[in-house]
Structure 1
Amino acid sequence: MKMSSAQDLPTPESLLSLRTPTRRGLLSLVAGAALAGRGAAAAEPAVGEDGLYHEPWFLQSFLDLREDLESAAAGGKRLAVMWELRGCPYCRETHLVNFADAGIAGYIRDNFEVLQLNLIGSRKVTDFDREELAEKDLARKYGIRFTPTFQFFPPSVDGLQAKDAMAREVARAPGYLKPPHFLAMFRFVRERAYERGSFRDFLAANG
């Protein structure tokens, strides 16, 4: 099998020459090129300068939640936001145990775009109502107090802007979930079971 070389990877000039590239398409191509150059190591989570573990398949985003949700929907996926914090032992557990399970990671990759945010971060994020806030201020707006916390949003942005922040979610997982319940939460959202009952009901029916 032919290995990727530097000559095989697109240059910034060749990417810019693509016809009417979208911002997200351009970012995805750049990220894909970087992962191809890293080879097998791309399958492992890496600790970034922010002290968080980063999965290579996490969403590469311009931190515009409306744009991220629309892009996920266009690809037949749902948007999940994962909140983490440097030194959080259960965040580490989520990466090294839950995401390390090929079946769990495969299901999530196939059905979700996961945006990773830092509970005390300072990156600017544009909310669904177009308000631009630092990560830590967005966390406060949505009442995020524990890490890891997963927020799950509807399959469409329709009507989200007019809702209060807390009412925009269809489900939330605050704190660590062991692998079986972790996968069940993502199935609960993907199958839109929240429209029929609670997560507890879903677990009881599918336990």
Structure 2
Amino acid sequence: MLTRRSLIASALALTLAPAAARAARLNDDGLHVQDWFLDSFLDLAQDIEEAAAKGKRLAVSFEQRGCIYCAEMHEKHLANATISAYVRQHFEMIQLNQFGAREVTDLDGRVLPEKEMARRWAVTSTPTILFLPEKPVSGQAHLVSPARMRGLLPQPAFLAMFRFVAEKQYEKMEFPAYARQQEETLAKAIAAGQPIN
């Protein structure tokens, strides 16, 4: 039963909820989306340059309607203040629909609908996040990408992957070794809602 007290408590909870937790919504394709995701013309070379001008890297997330792991990524991982703050500080993110029809321009100039780009880049599961190079280079994005996240990783490993790319740790080591080094520290920060630089 709704009472005045329960309505006030609900309104207060919404007011105090982190902005990232309120930002996830469903778009017209039925995909969960963050309000801070980059809305672009999907020309990846241009998007890399624009991200770099802001001191950020570009990440492309392939998702699909009804994907429970995509929903979890938005509702839990990106709703976490620690994770969301880090990703937003260091990355511009573009969301693509694995079965969508919007045209995407790859780094080699090839223009394909999202669903064909997903096939070209060998995206077989969602979410798949492709991390693009710091600067535009010629080639297919998936072949010049320094890292790719296939499927949804646990929160500490998810955040570790973004740090791995932002810090260019891929030049020094493989991701599994980096994730093991970071797991305990990141798990504690995520649980406490502490920012990570």
TM-score, scaled to structure 1: 0.76
Distance 1:146 1:181 in 2: 18
**Worse overlay, 44-53 or 85-94:** 44-53
TM-score, scaled to structure 2: 0.80
Higher relative contact order (CA closer than 8 Å, sequence separation 6+): 2
The alignment status of 1:117 with 2:110, answered yes or no, reads no
Gaps of 5+ in 1: 1-39
CA 165–60 in structure 1, closer or farther in 2 if over 3 Å, else same: closer
The alignment status of 1:91 with 2:66, answered yes or no, reads no
CA 76–122 in structure 1, closer or farther in 2 if over 3 Å, else same: same
Partner of 1:16: none
Q: Percent identity?
A: 47
8 Å CA contact retained: 2:58, 2:131:
yes
What is the DSSP-based 3-state SS (H/G/I as helix, E as strand, rest coil) of the residue aligned with 1:83? strand
How far 1:41 moved relative to its partner? 10
The alignment status of 1:178 with 2:157, answered yes or no, reads no
Partner of 1:67: 46
8 Å CA contact retained: 2:24, 2:32:
yes
Distance 2:91 2:173 in 1: 21
The alignment status of 1:108 with 2:87, answered yes or no, reads yes
How far 1:179 moved relative to its partner? 1.0
The alignment status of 1:200 with 2:176, answered yes or no, reads yes
Q: CA RMSD, aligned part only?
A: 1.6
1:91-112: CA deviation from partner (whole Å, max 9, x where unpaired)? 0000000011011001100100
CA 151–61 in structure 1, closer or farther in 2 if over 3 Å, else same: same
Q: Given residue 167 of structure 2, which amino acid in structure 1 is its aligned partner?
A: E
How many positions carry a matched residue from both structures?
A: 165
Gaps of 5+ in 2: 1-18, 184-197
How far 1:197 moved relative to its partner? 1.0
Partner of 1:9: none
8 Å CA contact retained: 2:106, 2:141:
no
